[in-house]
Amino acid sequence: MIDYFDRARRLLVGRPMRSEALGQTLLPKRIALPVFASDALSSVAYAPDEIILMLSFAGLAATQFSPLIGVAVAVLLMIVVASYRQTVHAYPSGGGDYEVVTTNLGPTAGLMIASALLVDYVLTVAVSISSGAKYLASAMPSLAGYEVHVSLSVIAVLTLLNLRGMRESGRTFAFFTYLYLFAIVLMLVSGVFQSLTGKLGTAPTAQYDIIPDPAYQVGLVGVGGFFLVLRAFSSGCAALTGVEAISNGVPTFRKPKSKNAATTLLMLGTISACVMLTILYLARNTGVRYVENPAESLVLNGHPIGSNVQVDPVMSQLAATVFADAKPLFYLVAVVTGLILVLAANTAFNGFPQLAQILAHDSFLPHQLYNRGDRLSFSNGILALAGAASVLIIAFDAQVTRLIQLYIIGVFISFTLSQLGMIRHWNRELAVCTDGRRRLQMRHSRVINMFGFVMAGLVLLVVLVTKFTHGAWMALLFMLLIFLVMHRIRHHYESVAAELEVPDYVEAARLPSRVHAIVLLAKLHKPAMRAISYARATTPSSLELVTVDINEDDTKALLKQWKDADIPLPLTVLASPFRDITGPVLAHVRQVRRQSPRELVVVYIPEYLVARGIESILHNHSATRLRARLQYVPGVVLATVPWKLDGTKDPTKLVNKQIIAPESRTKNDRHH
């Protein structure tokens, strides 16, 4: 069983990699940009859509304001980028927001931000992949309606690529990110050129009128209108997600890590902002319509268009307009945008397991998550992320607009906490630093982070107010749950560690006075004889054979064998009025312990190893049950004496040949 499983795993995730190979997985800027920036770069594929969609509630006229809201989002993006450039320089160790907040604001705040980040990583995957499925469907209309299936398949593929190790995924993905940038920039430059020369066409949906939501019949006026503008701004802030991924991933950059990470951050902020603004400008000029329920809200000549007309995402519509005479280029944009959104999800596949490892190291998550897999990636974290995102996609039917309502809140919680932490950081640094030039630099950084904190805090408030009832409550609830679970886990590990600490090594090293060995028998066959030999070899103070009298004939046969074999050891026959093996043995061992509590009891149990899993039905039941109960008796060691049945292969041999290269053994230290 282990054998087959292991072979299948090797085939899927590749051969194991040595720890020393870790240095080789560090990323140059040209690879780091696509790996870490695809989240931020790809959010222009849905952030403008959500701005237009929100404004559409107030009718067609309201959507004309979308570029203005885009400017607000772009300004905020640049503020956040500026703030994070300070973080990347101050904390090159890659704890990112979590490290900043834990160090400066304490573990509770750290745990808060960690919960927020974990939830947002999951949502990044869910939103990006759902949106990607929509873009793919715009290029291949036959996929429309199968977004959930497409999304889940894509998650499966991503999981596999990531289990194989990050370096390979970086290279595989870099090509597509650059292709995406090329396609988008080509489209936007062509569009702007067409616009300036007056040759820009109209979008496929420009012919439709929009029926405003009953609540916003009068357009963007009054409190309601203001609130809608704020909601549109909140949704547009989806463009900011992904910035923090780089600050978490500093250690995977090549040296100088901080400088390279900061440069990458600035690059991606600038590109993102420009692309988003251009999209919104072109969307308005080509008359793109994008609403929540196209079938009911869009009308042609006074009649709703119904569900037969497919309304594609904004970038697909732009590509169709700009490249109306160059169909292949339209397909390039739609497909490559779909792919880049998949790569965005990959950002989370890098960031989530890394954060989970840090949390596991701090005992907030199970310690298993601390270990890198044999391909140097964090296998358990990758699987956890893929599972959670799949559940969300199924629950929300892969609908981006519904998922977006849960999104962003976590990002702004972490932005705000992180900037607050940075302010604290500079205050502390300034308290000890005396170098005038460096103090000036720190003051400068502190001002940037203060500004970032105020802005992020304000936006967090706006997001909370405008999205709470629309789904943000659910994200907050998840965060709270994760917070509480992580708190409990830490508490458990801490109390166990305190319990296990040795107060006095001399006292702890005291030995039991005597060793009483018990060999459990049913028959005097080879496994039993082996157990007896092994038990005798350990020269215990006393040694007895024990059997349970379940069946008179069997017991008589055993007694005869024992006499015939002339074994010089006492044989104790335990009565078992209820035909139960475990009870009498437990009672006997307890009695031995009661009579001499300082004595160690070692119970030898023969156990069969079978050739085929199905055969285990035929063996070992009493042994397993007995061990499960005997382990609770204090002062007892359970010694399993394995017996390989004929035809049983050693499943470890094959595996070891692969894993253990000969030189690994020469490195063993022996300390005396």
Window 537 to 596, contacts with a second copy (CB under 8 A): 537-540, 550, 559, 562, 564-567, 570-580, 582-584, 586-588, 591
**Residue whose CB is less far from a second copy, 12 or 299:** 12
Structure letter (DSSP) for residue 550: S
**Residue whose CB is less far from a second copy, 208 or 370:** 370
**What CA–CA distance (Å, rounded) separates 23 from 437?**
34
Question: In terms of DSSP H, where are the helices of 323-378?
Answer: 327-361
Give least dist CB 458 to a second copy, A. 40
> In the range 100-129, which residues lie near a second copy by CB under 8 A?
none
Give least dist CB 32 to a second copy, A. 24
**What CA–CA distance (Å, rounded) separates 156 from 383?**
10
Residue 631 CB neighbours (<10 A): 11
Choices 50-58, 194-202, 300-308, 531-539 (CB under 8 A): range interacting with a second copy: 531-539
> 400: which 2 tokens?
């981006």
Does 652 participate in binding a second copy (rule CB under 8 A)? Answer: yes
Give least dist CB 161 to a second copy, A. 20
Contact 211, 296 (CB under 8 A): yes
Report the residue from 7, 30, 444, 492 that binds a second copy according to the rule CB under 8 A. 492
Does 469 participate in binding a second copy (rule CB under 8 A)? Answer: no
**What CA–CA distance (Å, rounded) separates 528 from 519?**
8
Give least dist CB 659 to a second copy, A. 5
Give least dist CB 608 to a second copy, A. 8
Give least dist CB 585 to a second copy, A. 10
**What CA–CA distance (Å, rounded) separates 17 from 558?**
53
> In the range 623-642, which residues lie near a second copy by CB under 8 A?
627-629, 631-634, 636-642
Report the residue from 146, 304, 530, 654 that binds a second copy according to the rule CB under 8 A. 530
Report the residue from 201, 225, 615, 654 that binds a second copy according to the rule CB under 8 A. 615
The residue with tokens 């459990």 is 520
- Please give the sequence-ordered ranges of beta strands (E in DSSP) within 475-581, or none if there are none: 514-520, 542-549, 571-575
Give least dist CB 404 to a second copy, A. 33
By CB under 8 A, how many residues form the interface with a second copy? 114
Q: Which residues contact 198 (CB under 8 A, 6 or more apart)?
A: none
The residue with tokens 């292949």 is 328
Give least dist CB 170 to a second copy, A. 21
**What CA–CA distance (Å, rounded) separates 263 from 89?**
11
Residue 658 CB neighbours (<10 A): 13
Contact 619, 536 (CB under 8 A): no
> In the range 470-489, which residues lie near a second copy by CB under 8 A?
489
**Residue whose CB is less far from a second copy, 88 or 358:** 358
> In the range 22-51, which residues lie near a second copy by CB under 8 A?
none
Give least dist CB 132 to a second copy, A. 33
> In the range 184-213, which residues lie near a second copy by CB under 8 A?
none
> In the range 329-388, which residues lie near a second copy by CB under 8 A?
366-368, 371-372, 374
Exposed/middle/buried for 400, CB within 10 Å: 0-12, 13-18, 19+? buried
Give least dist CB 616 to a second copy, A. 10
Residue window 2-21: x/- pattern of binding to a second copy, with contact defined by CB under 8 A = x-------------xxxxx-
Report the residue from 255, 437, 510, 594 that binds a second copy according to the rule CB under 8 A. 510
Report the residue from 221, 533, 556, 560 that binds a second copy according to the rule CB under 8 A. 533
Write the DSSP assignment of 602-645 as a string of letters.
Answer: EEEEEEEE-SSGGGGGGS-HHHHHHHHHHTTSTTEEEEEEEEEP
**What CA–CA distance (Å, rounded) separates 330 from 11?**
37
**Residue whose CB is less far from a second copy, 307 or 533:** 533
Give least dist CB 167 to a second copy, A. 16
**Residue whose CB is less far from a second copy, 11 or 537:** 537
- Please give the sequence-ordered ranges of beta strands (E in DSSP) within 531-628, or none if there are none: 542-549, 571-575, 599-609
- For 469-473, the CB contacts below 8 A with 24+ separation are 470/405, 471/402, 471/405, 471/406, 472/405, 472/406, 472/409
**Residue whose CB is less far from a second copy, 71 or 529:** 529
**What CA–CA distance (Å, rounded) separates 362 from 493?**
10
Report the residue from 157, 295, 300, 660 that binds a second copy according to the rule CB under 8 A. 660
